[in-house]
Amino acid sequence: DGGITQSPKYLFRKEGQNVTLSCEQNLNHDAMYWYRQDPGQGLRLIYYSQIVNDFQKGDIAEGYSVSREKKESFPLTVTSAQKNPTAFYLCASKAGLGISGANVLTFGAGSRLTVL
Amino acid sequence: AQTVTQSQPEMSVQEAETVTLSCTYDTSENNYYLFWYKQPPSRQMILVIRQEAYKQQNATENRFSVNFQKAAKSFSLKISDSQLGDTAMYFCAFMKHADSGAGSYQLTFGKGTKLSVIP
């Protein structure tokens, strides 16, 4: 079945360490996204990518980095510069223009990052 | 920039009853999409219903329907015959139309409404 796989589901990090969250999709979607979810804050956009080798900052990109070397993959690195990284992270993807349902985001199951 | 406001942080409803969740948004765009997503305790985000702004007819999906008031920039969700499985966080979200240029791929969310269905 097609879908989005995020790993790991739970991750613990010591302060000062970088950590990378994986996001893989087999939906053949062009666009991919990373959102952060905090209690009472809803979902906030970190980065998004419309095509391979291209990505744009969202509303809260500081302290994060991404890459989009393959259509299927959009890993997110939480760097030591991120002041408050403990949160739930959601990856999503969307079909390109002209495709049926192109305006609908499909989400992964999320990754919970805790900084110790 | 677009903003989405959900004014009800928490709501509850008796099983089999009807409940309406509110959502308002602010935009200068004329063409856009609106969505309701559900996030149950598993935290998996699930699309409930979507509305295209150029369509005057309100969208419906089984027990879920919306009241889309474009002039008032209001997009409420009505859940009929509430079931225990409807217990979840509900997020209203906005996306600019693809013809709107920059930012048209972005989905902007409200802060959510926590709905509890009581047996």
Q: What local confidence, expressed as pLDDT, does residue A106 receive?
A: 93
Residues of chain B found within 8 Å of residue A110, distances taken between Cβ atoms: 43-44
Interface of B with A in 23-62 (CB under 8 A): 33, 35, 42-45, 47, 50
Residues of chain A found within 8 Å of residue B41, distances taken between Cβ atoms: none
Q: What local confidence, expressed as pLDDT, does residue B117 receive?
A: 98
Q: What local confidence, expressed as pLDDT, does residue A11 receive?
A: 94
Separation of CA B92 from chain center: 3
Low-confidence residues of chain B, pLDDT below 50?
none
Closest-CA distance, B111 to chain A, in angstroms, reads 4
d(CA A48, CA A66): 9
Residues of chain B found within 8 Å of residue A45, distances taken between Cβ atoms: 106-108
CB A53 within 8 A of CB A95: no
Whether residue A107 and residue B98 make contact (CB cut-off 8 A), yes or no, is no
What's the whole-number mean pLDDT along residues A33-43? 92
